[in-house]
Amino acid sequence: MILIPCPWCGSRDAGEFAYGGEPTPRPDPRTATREQWRGYLYLRNNVAGWTTERWYHRMGCRRYLTVQRNTVTNEVRQP
Amino acid sequence: MKRQTRRLDRQPGEVIDRGSPLEFGWNGRSYPAYAGDTIASALAACGERVFSRSFKYHRRRGLLTASYTDPGCIVQVGDEPNVRGAHRLVTPGMDVRSQDTWPSLAFDVKAANELVGRFLPAGFYYKTFIRPRPLWPTYERVLRRFSHGGVVSPDPLSPELSSYDKRQVHPDVLVAGGGPAGMTAAVAAARAGARVMLVEEEHSLGGHLRWGDKADLAALHDLRSLLAASGVEVLTNSVVFGRYDHNHVAIVQRGLPHVYERLVKARAKTLVVSPGLIERPYVFAGNDVPGVMLSTAVRRLINLYAVKPGDRAVVLTANPQGDAAVVDLERAGVEVAHVVDARGGDDLVRVLGRGGVKGVELVGGHRIECDLVVTAVGWTAPLTLLTMAGTVAAYDSRAARYFPGTATLPDDVLPAGGVVGDGTLDELVAHADAVGREAARRAGSMSRREPAAEIPALPVDAHPELFHGPTHGIVDFSEDVSSRDLLTAVEEGYSSAELAKRYTTATMGPTQGKLESVNVVAIIAEATGRTISQTGTTTWRPPYAPVTLGALAGRHREPVRYSPMHPWHERHGAAPLVAGAWIRPDHYGDPAGEVLAVRERVGIIDVTPIGKLDLRGPDVPKLLNLLYVNRWSKLEVGRVRYGVMCAEDGVVLDDGVTGRLGDQHYLMSTTSSGAASVWEWVESWLQTEHPGWQVHVTPVTTSYASINVAGPRSRELLGRVVAEIDLTPQAFPYMHVRTGRVAGVDGCVLWRIGFTGELSFELHVPASYGLHVWETLLDSGNDLGVRAFGIEAQRILRLEKGHLIVGQDTDGLTQAFSAGLDGLIRLDKDDFVGRSELVWQAEAAAESRLVGLHPNDASVVPEEGSQLIEAGVICGRVTSSRWSPTLHRSICLAQVATEFAEPGTLVTVRLPDGRSVPATVTEHLASVDPEGARLRG
Shared domain check, B636 and B525:
no
Q: Kindly indicate the confidence band of residue B936, based on its pLDDT and cuts at 50, 70 and 90.
A: confident
CB contact under 8 A, A2 and B246: yes
| Number of domains present in the structure of chain B | 4
Q: Which residue pairs from B259-262 have beta carbons closer than 8 angstroms and sit at least 24 positions apart in sequence? A: B259/B160, B259/B163, B259/B164, B259/B165, B260/B160, B260/B161, B260/B162, B260/B163, B260/B164, B260/B548, B260/B550, B260/B551, B261/B164, B261/B165, B261/B547, B261/B548, B261/B550, B261/B551, B262/B164, B262/B165, B262/B166, B262/B167, B262/B551
| Interchain pair B684, A56: CB under 8 A | yes
Same domain (yes/no): B776, B923: no
| pLDDT at residue B266 is higher than 70 | yes
What is the CATH classification number for the domain harbouring A45? 3.30.2270.10
**Which backbone phi and psi does A61 adopt, to 5 degrees?**
-85, 0
Q: What is the per-residue pLDDT for B463? A: 97
Poorest-pLDDT segment among B16-30, B111-125, B136-150, B329-343: B111-125
Q: Rounded to the nearest 10 degrees, what angle do helices A34-42 and B835-844 cross at?
A: 130
Residue B18 has pLDDT above 80, yes or no: yes
pLDDT single digits (tens) B907-921:
999 999 999 999 999
Q: Is residue B39 predicted with pLDDT exceeding 70?
A: yes
**What's the confidence (pLDDT) of residue B647?**
97
Among the residue ranges A5-9, B200-204, B293-297, B545-549, the one predicted with the least confidence is B545-549
**Domain of A30?**
3-77
Task: Answer whether B276's CB lies under 8 Å from B417's CB.
Answer: yes
**DSSP string over B637-661:** TTBEEEEEEE-TTSBEEEEEEEEEE
Residue type, B702: T
B674: in domain: yes
CA B859 to mean position of chain CA atoms? 47
Q: Model confidence over B565-590: pLDDT tens digits? A: 999 999 999 999 999 899 999 999 99
Would you state the pLDDT for residue B129?
64
Of the candidates B886, B867, B865, B885, the one whose C-alpha atom is nearest the C-alpha of residue B876 is B867
Please list, in sequence order, all residues whose beta carbon lies within 8 angstroms of the beta carbon of residue B489, skipping any fewer than 6 positions away. Answer: B122, B123, B495, B499, B500, B503, B504
CB < 8 Å to B680, chain A? 18, 56, 58
The pLDDT confidence band at residue B148, using thresholds 50, 70 and 90, is low
Q: Tell whether B871 and B745 lie within a shared domain.
A: no
Contacts of B687 in chain A (CB under 8 A): 63-64
Residue of B nearest to A28 (CA): B831
Nearest CA in chain A to B647: A41
B385 and B477, same domain (yes or no): no
Same domain, B910 and B899: yes
Give B49-67 pLDDT, tens digit per residue: 999 988 888 889 999 999 9
Q: What's the pLDDT at B695?
A: 98
Closest CB to A64 among B248, B649, B684: B684
Q: Which residue of chain B is at minimal alpha-carbon distance from A39? A: B649
pLDDT for the residue B811: 94
Label each residue of B178-198 as H, E or C: CCHHHHHHHHHHHHCCCCEEE
Residues 6+ apart with CB under 8 A from B150: B74, B76, B80, B81, B82, B99, B100
CA separation, residue A66 to residues A52, A56, B561, B678, B684 (Å): 7, 9, 33, 21, 12
- Given CB atoms, is B835 within the 8 Å cutoff of chain A? yes
Q: What proportion of chain B, given as a percentage, has pLDDT over 90?
A: 81
Q: Tell whether B608 and B753 lie within a shared domain.
A: yes
Report the mean per-residue pLDDT for chain A. 94
List of chain B residues whose C-beta atoms are within 8 Å of the C-beta of residue A3: 246, 267
Residue among A13, A23, A58 whose CB faces B688 most closely:
A23
| C-alpha to C-alpha distance for A69 and A45, rounded to whole angstroms | 13
CB contact under 8 A, A58 and B840: no
pLDDT of amino acid B103: 63
Distance CA(B374)–CA(B287), nearest Å, equals 10
**Does the residue B350 lie in any domain?**
yes
B606-623 per-position pLDDT tens digit: 999 999 999 999 999 999
Question: Under an 8 A CB cutoff, do A54 and B688 touch?
Answer: yes
Strand partners, B315: B339, B374
Amino acid at B804: L
CB spacing of B688 vs A64 below 8 angstroms: yes
Q: Is B541 exposed, middle or buried (0-12, 13-18, 19+ CB in 10 A)?
A: exposed
Is residue B603 domain-shared with residue B500, that is, in the same domain? no
pLDDT digits (tens, 9 = 90+) for B675-719: 999 999 999 999 999 999 999 999 999 999 999 999 999 999 999
In B, minimum Cα distance to A76 occurs at: B246
- How far apart, in whole angstroms, are the C-alpha atoms of residue B226 and residue B234? 13
Q: Which residues of A touch B248 (CB under 8 A)?
A: 1-2, 13
pLDDT of residue B144: 62
Q: What is the pLDDT of residues B815-863, one digit of tens each?
A: 999 998 999 999 999 999 999 999 999 999 888 999 999 999 999 999 9
Count of domains observed in chain A: 1
Predicted pLDDT at B806: 95
Give the rounded percent of residues in chain B with a pLDDT score beyond 70.
94
pLDDT per residue as tens digits for the range B90-147: 999 999 999 877 667 777 666 666 655 555 666 666 666 666 667 777 776 666 655 5
Does A2 sit within 8 Å of B245, measured CB to CB?
yes
Distance from the Cα of residue B119 to its chain's centroid? 39
Range of the domain at B918: 847-936
Residues B329, B424, single domain; the answer is no
Contact residues, chain B, for A74 at CB < 8 Å? 245-246
**Exposed, middle or buried, B454 (CB in 10 Å: 0-12/13-18/19+)?**
exposed
Across the interface, whether the CB atoms of A41 and B649 are under 8 A apart is answered yes
How many pairs of residues across A and B have Cβ atoms under 8 Å apart? Answer: 44
Both B272 and B284 in a single domain? no
Considering the domain boundaries, does residue B879 fall inside one? yes
Torsion of CA B566, B569, B570, B576, to 10 degrees: -90
A64 neighbourhood in chain B, CB within 8 Å:
683-684, 687-688
Q: Verify whether the Cβ–Cβ distance A58 to B680 is below 8 Å.
A: yes
Question: CATH code at B769?
Answer: 3.30.1360.120
